[in-house]
Chain A
Amino acid sequence: MKPTTMLAAAIGLFAGLAISAQAIAGQTNIAVAANFTDAAKEIAAAFKAKTGHDALLSFGATGALYTQITQEAPFEILLSADAEHPKKATDKGLGVTDSLFTYAIGKLVLWSKNPDLVKGDETLKGGGFTKLSIANPALAPYGAAAVETLKALKLDEAMQPKIVQGNSIAQTLQFIDTGNAELGFIALSQLTGKSEGSRWVVPQTLHKPIRQDAVLLKKGASNEAAASFMTFLKGAEARAIIGKYGYAIDSQS
């Protein structure tokens, strides 16, 4: 074969492969609340193994992701850290109404790298620290839950000068991880596989339940890969992963 024919054959072969691969495997863009990062990665891998579809994940604070969605961001699914933003999305006609469901219930945890610091709410009352890291309550539901917890403990005013805000729950953890804040409120899921430090899982009675809802967005309404991901997320395999990362699972949905 002449080199040019070979090249043409190769191009033809690759094009053919690409087209056939596309016919089987689709892809879907998913906006994921930062607290669900690790679980979402594992679910996406399992989803790929089972269906062949690619789930492309973008992480951020729920409020930030939502703002992007209102401005036509190419997301097809929102895995929110709350129930409020997915509902707002469907109210505004950005989401598919009957696709809403609670995929996880988050747990808030007070965590420090120092193994002796966090003993319970008395640690907060004792005030033996200079900086308490929380997520921006206006953007991140775990931040709002942290503020509710401080209010329930009547510590919100006392803590005010010590609070530093991460832009998302991921940045909140980063502040603690780098030692810049001694402790902070983060998602229990972020501590999966971490046994170091000291922690206090905040009782669910101190804040409103952190119901994390998923919604299929209008942009993904006709994408089979997106619909397939929503189904997968409700299935036993995904639920096992979600449970493993420290979330409770809603029994109703």
Chain B
Amino acid sequence: MGGLPADIWQPIRLTIELAAITTVLLLILGTPLAWWLARSRAWWKESVATVVALPLVLPPTVLGFYLLVALGPNGPGGWLAGLWGGRTLAFSFEGLVIGSVFYSMPFVVQPIRNAFEAIGDRPMEVAATLRASPMRAFWTVAVPLARPGFLTAAVVGFTHTVGEFGVVLMIGGNIPGQTKVLSVAIFDYVETSQWREANILAAGMVVFSFVVILAMTLIQKRAGRAGG
């Protein structure tokens, strides 16, 4: 790739790492949560769902502000960092992962919940009559049936984390290789009038987003047909 500035790759690599780790964590945390939201009859479950959905409407500055305080030495983040001798989780890759998990949570939980709800009670009841344990029924019946939901969740969770800006800007501290992700790098290039570099990254993001959304739509269509 002739003419590309060398420091352009670092934010790209970092962003992919951040998005990948966040997505895996979200699938691990989000699946049981989505299952509970889909199956529970607790009267307060919609309140939980609402809390999960909050990042959809809140400005990133709200999340950024609370995270900055919570990750700091006077919050739980500082306590956690103290376990390995640090003072704060802000300005670290780990801090960004925590922020991203909150920020992208609704994009992962909601599609999985919808998929679980679409299955309905019947297949699980059938599995139970066949003496499958609830755990076994979950893995062999519910998860395979909800596969399109998982796919959507993973793809949207990943891309949404890639596209995150406000939160990262507020808690990241712009450290190359640790917290200077793509969106922040683009911002820096624009603000310092390095528009050629900004253009390369920004155009890359447009193409990437287009491909992902198109691919997802096509896959969903096919899955929809396959599911009848």
Q: Which residues of A line the B interface, CB within 8 A?
A: 61, 63-64, 67, 70, 130-131, 133, 136, 138-139, 163-167, 171, 174-175, 178-182
CA distance A72 to B176 in the complex (A): 31
| With A138-B192, A174-B68: A182-B173 Cβ-Cβ less than 8 Å | no
Does A178 lie within 8 Å of B68, measured CB to CB?
A: yes
In angstroms, Cα B163 to Cα A216, docked, is: 37
- Least CB separation from B91: chain A residue: A164
Chain B interface helix/strand/loop/mixed:
loop
Q: List 19 A-B contacts (CB under 8 A).
A: A63-B191, A67-B190, A67-B191, A70-B193, A130-B86, A130-B87, A130-B88, A131-B87, A131-B91, A131-B173, A133-B173, A136-B188, A166-B174, A175-B68, A179-B73, A179-B78, A179-B88, A180-B73, A182-B87
* Contacting pair B74 A179 (CB below 8 A): yes
Known A-B contacts: A130-B87, A167-B169. Give 11 more (CB < 8 A).
A131-B87, A138-B191, A164-B175, A165-B175, A166-B173, A178-B68, A178-B74, A179-B87, A180-B73, A180-B90, A180-B91
Instruction: Please indicate the chain B residues that have their CB under 8 angstroms from the CB of A179 in the complex.
Output: 72-74, 78, 87-88
Question: What interface size band does chain B fall in?
Answer: 20 to 34
Chain B residue nearest to A163 in the complex (CB): B175
State in angstroms the CA–CA spacing of A171 and B87 once bound together.
19
Instruction: Closest A residue to B171 by CB, please name it.
Output: A180
User: Is B69 at the interface (CB under 8 A from chain A)?
Assistant: yes
- Least distance between B60 CB and chain A CB atoms (Å): 13
The reply to whether B174 and A178 form a contact with Cβ atoms under 8 Å apart is no
Q: Mark B23-48, 1 if CB is under 8 A from A, else 0.
A: 00000000000000000000000000
B71 interfacial by beta-carbon distance below 8 Å:
yes
* Cβ A180 vs Cβ B68 within 8 A: yes
Q: Which residues of B lie under 8 Å from residue A63 when comparing CB positions?
A: 191-192
B173 to chain A: which residues have CB within 8 Å?
131, 133, 164-166, 175, 180-181
Please state if A167 and B71 are interface contacts (CB–CB under 8 Å).
no
- 8 A-B pairs closest in CB distance: A164-B173, A165-B174, A180-B90, A179-B73, A180-B72, A164-B91, A180-B88, A138-B192
Name the A residues within 8 Å of B190 (CB-CB). 67
Residue of A nearest to B87 (CB): A130
1/0 contact string of B44-88 vs chain A (CB within 8 Å): 000000000000000000000000110111100010000000111
* CB neighbours of B174 from chain A (8 A): 136, 164-167
* Nearest CB on A from B78, distance (A): 8
Residues of chain A lying within 8 A (CB to CB) of residue B78: 179
Task: Quote the shortest CB–CB distance from B173 to chain A (angstroms).
Answer: 3
With a CB–CB cut-off of 8 A, which chain B residues contact A182? 87
Determine how close the nearest CB of chain A comes to the CB of B93; give it in whole angstroms.
13
In the bound complex, CA of A233 to CA of B55 (Å):
43
Chain B's closest residue to A88 (CB) is B193
User: Which residue of the partner chain A has the closest CB to B95?
Assistant: A180
Name the residue on A nearest B170 (C-beta): A171
Question: Which residues in A have their C-beta under 8 angstroms from that of B87?
Answer: 130-131, 179-180, 182
Q: Which residues of A contact B90 (CB under 8 A)?
A: 175, 178, 180
A64 and B191 contact, CB distance less than 8 A: yes
Q: Is the CB of A131 within 8 A of B88?
A: yes
Whether A178 and B72, one on each chain, are in contact in the complex, defined by CB atoms closer than 8 angstroms, is: yes
Task: Please give, as numbers and ranges, the residues of chain B lying within 8 Å of A163 by CB-CB distance.
Answer: 175
Provided the pairs A130-B86, A131-B91 are in contact, do residues A138 and B68 lie with their beta carbons within 8 angstroms?
no
A61 close to B191 (CB less than 8 A):
yes
CB distance from B99 to the nearest CB of A (A): 13
Which B residue's beta carbon lies closest to that of A138?
A: B192
With a CB–CB cut-off of 8 A, which chain A residues contact B74? Answer: 178-179
Assembled-state Cα–Cα distance A187/B174 (Å): 20
Cβ distance A92 to chain B, nearest Cβ, rounded Å: 11
Q: A180 CA to B87 CA in the complex, in Å?
A: 7
Q: Which residue of B lies closest to A140 (CB)?
A: B191
